[in-house]
Amino acid sequence: MYQQQINHINRTAIVLVVDGSLSMKKMTSINTMRRPRAEAAALVCNYIIDELLERATRFDTVRNYYDIAAIGYSGEGVVSLLPGDGKGFVAINRLAEMAPQPTTTYVEHRTPEGETIEVPFVLHPWVTPTATGATPMYEALVEVRDMVKAWCEHPDNRDSFPPIVFHITDGTASDASESELIDIAQRITKTSTRDGNTLFINVHLSSTDRTDAFCEVFPSEATFHTDDPERLLLYRMSSVIPQRMEPQIADMLHPIYKGPYRAVAFNTTVYEILSIISIGSESINAIR
């Protein structure tokens, strides 16, 4: 399981699900920099898409490695965030043709001498920050379930690496209970190709006003503990990292703690998450 190398023959699907509710106006910290959660969510999304685009590019040609969808949920309902009309998946080579003009953002970087400096970082603004109204998280995840189920059942995709869903949120929903959210997350992860079940990855952006705000990626099930109900909910909604990927996580992040690990990140970019997914070649354009 989870053996397929992702390429133009064995493609995959990537779904970005972005919380754009009013609470995303609050501040968070990502890459040690304070910024509104909506801006942090857009930064994570734009980084993921640009990194995937870079990995699919060979000799200035974008190969059709995967289908990408990005949907946001807010007081305006559930909407597509990508260029073009309608919801659903867009092939990466087609998406590349619609790329917006790149813009420069800044992230903090600590030098070997211990000095913290702001470093310019160029990204395409595929997703723009949104923070308005209610939080129809359940409605959005039902749509995701239907999308990945249809993708997995398509004959061309049956032998492919399963879809990967990135859900970026502050963890509060307005349209469902905790049990309902866990249930829909489990139904998403029950969709599958012959190579494995859909991976559901949560990226939690919490408030920097909290005294217990922290950064963590792939917490070990043996050591994870929190009294924060939002953090616990997203942990429970996340996939268990496939056993085949555990050695890479142990080498990269948790040399002491053994798996199983959960596919959840707290107040961090997703560089580490993308590092364990075998998609083409990693670019040098990495936020660390």
Note the pLDDT tens digit of each residue in 240-269: 999 888 887 887 766 677 889 999 988 776
73-114 per-position pLDDT tens digit? 999 999 999 987 667 899 999 999 999 999 998 776 667 787
Give the lowest-confidence range in 138-147, 187-196, 278-287.
278-287
- The HSE-up count of residue 29 (CA atoms within 13 Å, CB side) is 13
Q: What is the pLDDT of residue 257?
A: 74
How high is the pLDDT of residue 175? 95
Q: Residue 212 class from Cβ within 10 Å (0-12 exposed, 13-18 middle, 19+ buried)? A: exposed
Q: Does 108 or 167 have the greater pLDDT score? A: 167
Mean pLDDT of the chain: 86
The per-residue pLDDT for 287 is 33
Contact 226, 166 (CB under 8 A): no
**Secondary structure (H, E, C), 76-107:** CEEEECCCCCCCCCEEHHHHHHCCCCCEEEEE
Identify the sign of the CA torsion 28, 30, 33, 39.
Answer: negative
CA dist 276 and 65 (Å) reads: 17
For the chain, domain boundaries:
12-275
Q: Measured between alpha carbons, how far is 17 from 250 in angstroms, rounded to an integer?
A: 27
pTM for this entry: 0.90
Average pLDDT, integer, range 148-167:
95
The predicted structure's pLDDT at residue 276: 62
Percentage helix, strand, coil for the chain under 3-state DSSP, each rounded to 5: 30, 25, 45
Number of neighbouring beta carbons within 10 Å of residue 237? 27
What does the pLDDT read at residue 68?
A: 96
What type of residue sits at position 41? A
DSSP secondary-structure letter at 212? Answer: T
Please state the length of the chain: 288
CB 55 within 8 Å of CB 280: yes
Q: Which two tokens stand for residue 166?
A: 């990135």
| Residue 134 scores a pLDDT above 60 | yes
Helix (H, G, I), strand (E, B) or coil at 277: coil
Which pLDDT does position 202 carry in this prediction? 94
What is the model's pLDDT at position 285? 39
C-alpha–C-alpha distance, residues 133 and 114, integer Å? 41
- Give DSSP secondary structure letters for 214-274: --EES-BTTT-----HHHHHHHHHSPBPPGGGHHHHHHHT-SSS-S-BBSEEESS-SHHHH
pLDDT at 173: 93
Q: 184: which residues sit within 8 A by CB, 6+ positions away?
A: 138, 141, 142, 145, 176
CATH no. of 12-275: 3.40.50.410
**What is the predicted pLDDT for the residue at 273?**
66
